[in-house]
Chain A
C-alpha cells in the first residue's frame, strides 16, 4: 500500500527539523568546549591557604612558624603579616592539604589559631574566579556538557 503524500512530507520535515536541532546542539557543544577548555596557567596547581593567629606573634616566632611550614612537603612559599598575625602559604594541590598543614602546625606549636576558610558567599562575590551560581540553569547545562566532553 502506498504511503500518502502528506505522511511522506511530514516525515521529511521531521527529519530536517531533527537534523537542524542536532547541528545546533553540536555547535553549542563545540562553543562550550572552546570557552571552558583549560587555559595555560603558570601556577595551575598552586593553592593558597591562611592561618589567623589569635595570640601575639613576634618576629622570631613568625620566623619559626614560616620555617616549619616551609619544611612540609608540597609547601612552596610562606608570608607572615606580623601586624595582623596572619600566615599565608602556598602549596601544591595533590601533594599537600591545608588541613594537614594546619594540624601539623598546631601540634608543633600549640598555637591559638584558626584556619581561614572563605564562605560560599565570599567565593561567589570575589575575584578572580570560582564560587559559581551552581543553581542556575546555564551553569547546570554547561557543567553537564563539560562533563560529557572531558
Chain B
C-alpha cells in the first residue's frame, strides 16, 4: 500500500472500531423502566375538615373564611356551650359566664378565637392569620406561669373536657358512626396535649 494512503485508511479503521465498540446492540435494547407512581400525599387533618376552600363567613357578613377554619370554629363554639353547662368545667372556665358591658370582648369571643387558632395550628393550617400565638399548653396550664389558671388540671377533668368536645362534634354532625376516623384523629390530637395540660 502506498504510504500516502496509509494514514487515511488507518484513521478510517480506527473510526470503524470505535463506532462498532460504542454502538448499542440493536438485538438487546435496554428495557424501558417505568417510574413507580408517586403516592398521593396523605391529607392533613385541616384538609380533611375542609382545608383552604374559601367560603362566606356566616358570623362576619361580607368576609370570607377557609372552610377548614369554619369547621373547627363551629365545633369550638358548640363545645364552649357544652363546657359552660358542665359543672366539672366551671372552675376552669367560669369567666365565660361573667357578663361584660356592651362593646367589650366577651369570654366566649376570646376562648372561641384562642381555641380555634390552636386547633388550626395543630391541624396544619398554613394561613398565618390563623396561627396560635398564645402560651404553650404547658405554660398556659401552669398556675405559676399563668395566673388565670386557678388550679392545676387533673386527668379526670381533662378526660371530661375531651368528652365535651366529642359532644360538640356530635352536635355538628360528626360522630363515630358516620366518621369514626375523623373523630378518632381529633381526639388523638387533643390527647397529645394531655401531658402538658394535666399537671396534678
Residues of A whose CB lies within 8 Å of any CB of B are 38-39, 41-50, 77, 79-81, 84, 86-88, 90, 93-94, 97-98, 116-118, 121-131, 133
Kindly provide the distance from the CB of A63 to the nearest chain B CB, expressed in whole angstroms. 15
Q: Please give, as numbers and ranges, the residues of chain A lying within 8 Å of B90 by CB-CB distance.
A: 118, 122
Q: Please give, as numbers and ranges, the residues of chain B lying within 8 Å of A118 by CB-CB distance.
A: 90, 94-95, 97-98
Cα-based distance from A42 to B58 in the complex (angstroms): 10
- Which listed residue (B80, B86, B102, B114) contacts A93, Cβ 8 A? B102
A77-B81, A117-B97, A118-B94 known; A42-B107 Cβ under 8 A: no
Whether the pair A130, B111 counts as a contact (CB closer than 8 A) is no
Whether the pair B85, A129 counts as a contact (CB closer than 8 A) is no
Cα-based distance from A120 to B85 in the complex (angstroms): 19
Q: Please give, as numbers and ranges, the residues of chain B lying within 8 Å of A41 by CB-CB distance.
A: 105, 109-110, 112-113
Cα-based distance from A119 to B149 in the complex (angstroms): 15
Not counting A43-B59, A44-B105, A48-B106, a sample of 12 additional A-B residue pairs whose C-beta atoms are within 8 angstroms of each other reads A41-B110, A45-B103, A47-B100, A86-B87, A88-B81, A88-B85, A98-B99, A117-B98, A118-B95, A122-B150, A128-B110, A130-B100
A127-B148, A128-B148 known; A94-B84 Cβ under 8 A: no
Please name the residue on chain A nearest to B59 by beta carbon: A42
Whether the pair B113, A46 counts as a contact (CB closer than 8 A) is no
Q: Please give, as numbers and ranges, the residues of chain A lying within 8 Å of B112 by CB-CB distance.
A: 41-43
A-B contact pairs, 21 of them (CB 8 A): A41-B113, A42-B57, A46-B106, A46-B108, A47-B106, A48-B96, A49-B99, A50-B97, A84-B86, A84-B87, A86-B85, A87-B85, A88-B85, A90-B81, A90-B108, A118-B95, A118-B97, A124-B147, A125-B148, A128-B95, A128-B96
Cα-based distance from A45 to B93 in the complex (angstroms): 18
A39-B105, A42-B73 known; A123-B98 Cβ under 8 A: yes
Q: Please give, as numbers and ranges, the residues of chain A lying within 8 Å of B92 by CB-CB distance.
A: 126-127
Whether the pair B84, A50 counts as a contact (CB closer than 8 A) is yes
Whether the pair A130, B98 counts as a contact (CB closer than 8 A) is yes
Q: Please give, as numbers and ranges, the residues of chain A lying within 8 Å of B59 by CB-CB distance.
A: 42-43
Is B196 engaged at the interface, CB distance under 8 Å to the other chain?
A: no
Kindly provide the distance from the CB of B44 to the nearest chain A CB, expressed in whole angstroms. 23
